[in-house]
Amino acid sequence: MQNPLSTAPSGDSPLVGVLALQGDFREHLHSAQTLGARTVAVRRPSELAAVDGLIIPGGESTAIDKLARSFELADPIRERIAAGMPVYGSCAGMILLADRIQDPTLDLSGHPQETFGGIDMTVRRNAFGRQRESFELDLDFGGLEFSAGRDGDGVAPVHAVFIRGPWVESIGDGVEVLAQLEPAEMPAAATVDSRARIVAVRSGNLLATSFHPEVTGELRVHELFIRMIKGEA
């Protein structure tokens, strides 16, 4: 059967897969397509095997974890990550790329939710509060130097939308911080202390953001990811 969310091959642009089990995968497909990438919605191991890079969308990390296991995608995704496939995770996708979750949800038999892992970090789910504490702001974001000068002299800030997003509680060696929030930039309910909180990281070929560039028309995070797939960043 033709996959309706695939786009036709064109030239040598990379094939970007978007894990399409739950969450806002359509928005990620749209962002990658707008940048001229070939895309495929990934629901089967054979679709995963064909991609050059994978996006894990925002949504609900417990649901994506369960579905990935029942669709027999979880272990193949872990294997591709171990083999160096570039992966970008936003929000729930960030949680799924973390080696550790501070506060994992337990299923009915007491089994904690799993992640694919790959980034040596601990994340805290729903760290900024619940749905009604969703917020937006402009953020300095490292790694976007390629965009400098397009809208002025420097790199324009990234407009970030946070919807029940995680923050990164701690990182290991080799994890680069691309963006963080100062306490004054967070909803009051989230400012438990005076620490800045990490909201975007890169570790080798893995990229993760607490927020959702796919819902704002901000294309530079996806552009960075496509550059990573091409080996240009």
Ligand X SMILES: NC(=O)CC[C@H](N)C(=O)O
Q: Which residues are annotated as a binding site?
A: 59-61, 125, 163-164
145 is catalytic: no
Q: How far is the CB of 13 from ligand X (least distance, A)?
A: 27
Q: How far is the CB of 9 from ligand X (least distance, A)?
A: 30
Nearest to ligand X of 91, 168 (CB atom): 91
Q: Residues with Cβ < 8 Å from 230, sequence gap 6 or more?
A: 14
Q: How far is the CB of 165 from ligand X (least distance, A)?
A: 6
Of the residues 27, 169, 214, 223, only one is catalytic, namely 214
214 is catalytic: yes
Nearest to ligand X of 74, 156 (CB atom): 74
How many CB atoms are located within 10 Å of the residue 123 CB? 30
Report the distance separating Cα 233 and Cα 228, nearest Å.
Answer: 5
Nearest to ligand X of 70, 84 (CB atom): 70
Report the distance separating Cα 205 and Cα 218, nearest Å.
Answer: 21
Nearest to ligand X of 39, 61 (CB atom): 61
Q: Which residues are annotated as a binding site for L-glutamine?
A: 59-61, 125, 163-164
Of the residues 28, 47, 91, 114, only one is catalytic, namely 91
72 is catalytic: no
Report the chain's C-alpha Rg in angstroms. Answer: 17
Based on the number of CB atoms within 10 Å of its own CB, is 118 exposed (0-12), middle (13-18) or buried (19 or more)?
buried
- Contact residues for ligand X (CB under 6 A)? 58-61, 91-92, 95, 125-126, 163-165
Q: How far is the CB of 57 from ligand X (least distance, A)?
A: 8
Active site positions, annotated:
91, 212, 214
